[in-house]
Structure 1
Amino acid sequence: MSRTYTTSTAFLEALEEAGVSYIFSNLGSDHPGIIEGLAIARKENKKLPEVIMCPHEMVALSMAHSYAQVTGEPQAVLVHVECGTQNLGGAIHNAYKGRVPVLVFAGASPYTQEGELTGSRNEFIHWIQDVPDQRGIVRGYMKYDNEIRSGKNVKQLVHRSLQIAASQPKGPVYLVGPREVMEEETEPVSLQTEKWQPIAPAALPPQEINRIMGDLKKAKNPLVVTSYLGKNTSAVKELVELCEKCAIPVIESVPNYMNFPSDHPMHCGYQWNTPTQNEQLAKADLVLVFDSDVPWIPTKNKPSEACTIYYFDEEPLKESMPLWYVPSKRSFQVDSETALYQLNERLRDTNLNEETIHDRWNRISLYHHKQREKWAEKEQYEKDVITPEYLTGCIREVIDDNTIVVNEGISNFETIYTHLRRTKPGSIIGSGGGSLGWNGGAALGAKLSAKDQKVVSLTGDGSYMFSVPSAVHWMARRYNLPFLTIIYNNRGWKSPKLSTLGVHPEGTAFETDEYWVDFEPHADLAGIAEAAGGAFAKTVKNPDELKASLHEALQALNEGRSAVLDVYLPAIKQSNKKDTPEEKAGLGKL
């Protein structure tokens, strides 16, 4: 039987040539050419990216998302026409807002119906799934989108797409290909892949460095605020060097990564929807913001009017956010590692007031120490309840620096960062977006990218259900990717309750304690993973059982089996008398 070389063959070859290792796929009637190309390659022992079958598209893209976060390498996701594209759901938002490189390919319904071309319509669904603007479904969340129209230049389109995806600011790209085009016979094309590399990182203009250095030397209370600088682990080292030389404290605002070691004397804590004015931010006379979409929330917490602000980011204008501004003296479109390297280089030739730096170091170190003492007080054991702080402190005790933590704790987001106290770059990741359900696929992607490391997923019960756990744990068993999930289970969506109280602190919802967010009757969340993937499953309600249960779960992990601990925290549905003043204001620790 003759085997033809088609657009699909060239497409798959292009992915391989570009360094794509995996295709996270949910295949459909638009992919016969792709499937045939993969089958031929397997029969002929031809190397192509490995196909990972994903029963749900949300899981597929979340898996590609975290794989790229851990390795820095963009992967491919294959989905079915416009239905599969829409089923990617919030994962598209997360990849775009999280600046994660990934190539999404979707087929398109055939454009002939009389058998004029190979691949012409021959199934009922080809009419139903034909829509006017399939690319428009995701255009607002893509750096680039295009349609494959010929096999003659499909490799150029793939390499251009991945070049755009991997260039700062990184992000997802989208290609579509109708069935007839993907079945088209074509001639092999050879490209010089080294000519399709991402654009080089941007640096500070040399003349601006003197301005920054001048303000830094004059500052009595400088401060660094960052959120996702740690996406590049090498940038963390440069930030530590700057802060050590100048005794600059650091706040992590809505962090998506480990941006600065939590045990460093200059680390001054985390903030998310924090209700109070941050002391370090209030007294700062100079703030250097590196890689942060939301360095503070002005209605609650911000620098003084007299403070000088410099803003460093890959996309300082935030053109995809209609309302956004940080009033800065100067904003720079830069790669933060490069900018920090430039500043550190200049500091080597700069005379600093050593006495001022020494005094500031001692003052900030004392603040750091007292802050940690307060954190430790909140982690204390309580007889009748498992608090989020106690749970997180117990998790910290049983994991090590090489564990990769996937954090989608939502209402316990700040608690998790605060009490895990991560110190190693790359040891904790978040989605970077706001669409729930990333955690399950993300844990799989992290494990696939680092098979010799433990992966622990921390999630709320709501975000766990959004993650399609039945698909996630089926995949974990099929592909031997065991990980531990710990559910911070308050039996409902706490964040909408807090948002309501933020606007109506003494309203009728508060009076009646009715927010339509409680999950009753309560599901056996751990049991879902056991049924779908044979995971070790346990529900923990008694604080006396918590530590032993954590060790049981880790033992299952050591034996190559996934584990889920469903840990019951104080429930959403409770008397408002138990709410803290901050929670009554809708500003509790989210």
Structure 2
Amino acid sequence: MPTKTMTGATVADAYLQLLADRGVDYFFANAGTDFAPIIESFAKAQALDTPVPEPVTVPHENTAVHMAMGYYFMTGRPQAVMVHVNVGTANGLNGLLNAKRGQIPVFFTAGRTPTNEEASLPGHRSLDIHWTQEMFDQGGMVREAVKWDYELRNGEQVETVVDRGLTIAMSEPRGPVYLSLPREVLSHPMASYSYTSPTRQKPATAARPDADAVDEIASLLAKARNPLILTGSGGRTAAAWHALSDLAERYALPVIQHRFRILSLATHHPMNMGYGQDGWVSDADVILVVDTAAPYVPAQHRLRDDCKVIHIGPDPLHSYVPIRGIPADIALTCGTAEGLEAIGDALESHAVAARDQIEARRKALAERQRKLHAGWDARLEDARNQPVIHPAWLSHCISEAKNEDAVVIQEAKLLTSHMRFDHPQTLWNPGAASGLGHGLGAALGVKLAAPDRQVIGVHGDGAYMFGNPVSAHYVAAEQNLPHLSIILNNGRWQAVRGATVGQNRDGYAARSNRQPLTFLDAIDGYEKVVEAAGGYGEKVTDPTDLPRAIDRALKVVEIEKRQAVLNVICSTG
């Protein structure tokens, strides 16, 4: 077995070199006193030109975790995050929840407060905080939000622990892992240390779809008169995007992407039937759910008695959800792309007898899509002429200004019906657990991974505050990551208001002009924050000036290579 050996090293030295050897490019960190051996090792590596991940100073854990998520989204390679003991772990939990629900692998680590009071041990307790930050079970805070957690016990197991964490994170369904790193262990000296390179530990391959189940699914779809595909995350990979596109087009299967987390089908694909479920779910006789935990809300949609519901994906029953009663007549465990491709191949023979029915459905769906688009066009025309910027007009203007391959991070209610996206992995909402504050960090991670791509983040005013903008703008300045952030500023928590009124349609809140706990209008000068980091900020209130404002901001990003923020004062739509 090929090995590499280092001499005169500490456990921290071995740990960082192993991360680099295993393909970890970046080390996103918010440091504390537990980082002393890590910082010493980074300084040593810089002086000796030793390969280690690139350290990135990130002043808030929410930014750090979502940067790692964004980098993975563009590269398919998990990155390392390190935070400060228990308090940093707590601050990073929001990002971990998003990563777990979004199946994004992150190698999330935290220092561990020293436990030894004896001065003879390197890394021993040396500050009063080392007593008050100690916990009985630090990992217990995140155990439900990660796939695996462990604490490094000694230097001899560094290779085993690193490989274990990375392979579990990258095995389907993918997700974050947690490793705590005691300061005494990291500080421990080793005369020599050898490790296998390249590693002999590989992630588990995705499950191959069961042939009998695939054949049954193909038979049901071929016989269906009103089949329907529902997905919110089916396009996690380019391969899955293309497989879904091919399956839907070949067999005239309409696709609805309601409250999607990642766009899974081109906006103008002939089988893209929009983003609302009314008139679709209740009429379907076969529903194919692609990698989505909540394809519809049972309280809002009643299925036909004869409707068959099929779920496919790495975890088709979404076992991480404690209670879930959505019907699953067939649950096919598989890689998403592999499952869609297998169903498409199996349909070839089953669809022969149904060819006329499929072509008749194709024509009917084309007419239905034409009427859908006509309605969207009328809504956009109305929005264009309103005195306050409407979200539909903002969505359209962003679409008109962006590059064809731009990556848009969505943390506000963009109206995809007024936008055009033709390529996979170009529209993403990283908040799979609805942990707000994800957009700013994710945009930075995407830009770090793809510096030549145009990156645009769209955030609600509340989400922008959750995103720790000073931290995010600092990282963008330090790492030279010019991108555009657009704040959809309606001065309120619109989702909270909607939920309240939806539950109490004739209640006091519905009749109130100012519902408690929903307004965010005490300040509106968010564009000033980026100026502290040398960026460009502008407030936009006039709908007619919006296209020019977006062009001005993109020119700053692309020509001047500075980050920019547009604070767009919008109606609630």
What TM-score range do you get, normalising by the shorter chain? Answer: over 0.9
Is the contact between residue 258 and residue 424 of structure 1 (CA under 8 Å) also seen in structure 2?
A: no
Which residue number in structure 2 is paired with residue 150 of structure 1? 154
Q: What is the rounded CA distance, in whole Å, between the counterparts of 1:217 and 1:317 in structure 2?
A: 24
In structure 2, the gaps of 5 or more residues are 1-5
Is the contact between residue 85 and residue 106 of structure 1 (CA under 8 Å) also seen in structure 2?
A: yes
Which residue number in structure 2 is paired with residue 341 of structure 1? 341
Q: How does 1:409-558 map to 2 (within 5 A)?
A: 409=412, 412=413, 415-431=414-430, 432-516=432-516, 517-531=518-532, 533-558=533-558
| CA shift digits 1:478-535 (9 cap, x unpaired) | 111011011111011111111110111111122232322212322311111112x111
Alignment-mate amino acid for residue 8 of structure 2: T
Alignment-mate amino acid for residue 326 of structure 1: I
Q: What is the rounded CA distance, in whole Å, between the counterparts of 1:361 and 1:524 in structure 2?
A: 50
- Count of residues paired in the alignment: 561
* Cα distance, 1:82 vs structure 2: 0.5
Alignment-mate amino acid for residue 238 of structure 1: A
Is the contact between residue 313 and residue 334 of structure 2 (CA under 8 Å) also seen in structure 1?
A: yes
Is the contact between residue 254 and residue 294 of structure 1 (CA under 8 Å) also seen in structure 2?
A: no
| C-alpha RMSD of matched pairs (Å) | 1.6
Which of 177, 180, 199 is the equivalent residue of 1:173?
177
Which residue number in structure 1 is paired with residue 377 of structure 2? 376
* Cα distance, 1:3 vs structure 2: 8.1
Which of 379, 400, 403 is the equivalent residue of 1:400?
403
* Cα distance, 1:344 vs structure 2: 2.3
Q: Does 1:209 align with 2:214?
A: yes
Q: Which moved more, 1:202-211 or 1:386-395?
A: 202-211
* Cα distance, 1:84 vs structure 2: 0.9
Which residue number in structure 1 is paired with residue 33 of structure 2? 29
Is the contact between residue 265 and residue 369 of structure 1 (CA under 8 Å) also seen in structure 2?
A: no
Q: Does 1:112 align with 2:113?
A: no
* Cα distance, 1:417 vs structure 2: 2.7
Which of 17, 21, 28 is the equivalent residue of 2:21?
17
Q: What is the rounded CA distance, in whole Å, between the counterparts of 2:97 and 2:145 in structure 1?
A: 6
* Cα distance, 1:17 vs structure 2: 1.5
* Cα distance, 1:317 vs structure 2: 2.6
* Cα distance, 1:438 vs structure 2: 0.5
Q: What is the rounded CA distance, in whole Å, between the counterparts of 2:199 and 2:13 in structure 1?
A: 21
| CA shift digits 1:365-417 (9 cap, x unpaired) | 111121111112221212411111011111111112210000011xx2xx433
The SS at the match of 1:326 is coil
Q: How does 1:360-375 map to 2 (within 5 A)?
A: 360-375=361-376
Seen in structure 2, the aligned counterparts of structure 1 residues 85 and 7 have a Cα distance that, compared at 3 Å, is same
Q: What is the rounded CA distance, in whole Å, between the counterparts of 2:53 and 2:353 in structure 1?
A: 53
Q: What is the rounded CA distance, in whole Å, between the counterparts of 1:13 and 1:155 in structure 2?
A: 10
Alignment-mate amino acid for residue 239 of structure 1: L
Which residue number in structure 1 is paired with residue 97 of structure 2? 93
* Cα distance, 1:353 vs structure 2: 2.4
Alignment-mate amino acid for residue 504 of structure 2: H
Q: How does 1:58-207 map to 2 (within 5 A)?
A: 58-186=62-190, 187-207=192-212
Is the contact between residue 230 and residue 290 of structure 2 (CA under 8 Å) also seen in structure 1?
A: yes
Q: What is the rounded CA distance, in whole Å, between the counterparts of 1:302 and 1:442 in structure 2?
A: 36
Alignment-mate amino acid for residue 265 of structure 1: P
In structure 1, the gaps of 5 or more residues are 272-276, 572-588
| CA shift digits 1:54-105 (9 cap, x unpaired) | 0111100010011111211100001111011111141121111111101111
* Cα distance, 1:346 vs structure 2: 2.3
Is the contact between residue 296 and residue 302 of structure 1 (CA under 8 Å) also seen in structure 2?
A: no
Q: How does 1:43-58 map to 2 (within 5 A)?
A: 43-58=47-62
* Cα distance, 1:349 vs structure 2: 4.0
The SS at the match of 2:155 is coil
Q: TM-score, normalised by structure 1?
A: 0.92
Which residue number in structure 2 is paired with residue 228 of structure 1? 233
| CA shift digits 1:102-158 (9 cap, x unpaired) | 111111111111213111111121112111111111111010000000100111101
Q: Which moved more, 1:2-11 or 1:146-155?
A: 2-11
Which residue number in structure 1 is paired with residue 389 of structure 2? 386
Q: Does 1:312 align with 2:317?
A: no
Alignment-mate amino acid for residue 107 of structure 1: G
Q: % of aligned pairs identical?
A: 33
Which residue number in structure 1 is paired with residue 288 of structure 2? 288
Alignment-mate amino acid for residue 185 of structure 1: P
Which residue number in structure 2 is paired with residue 7 of structure 1? 11
Q: Does 1:358 align with 2:359?
A: yes
The SS at the match of 2:108 is strand
The SS at the match of 1:195 is coil
The SS at the match of 1:269 is coil
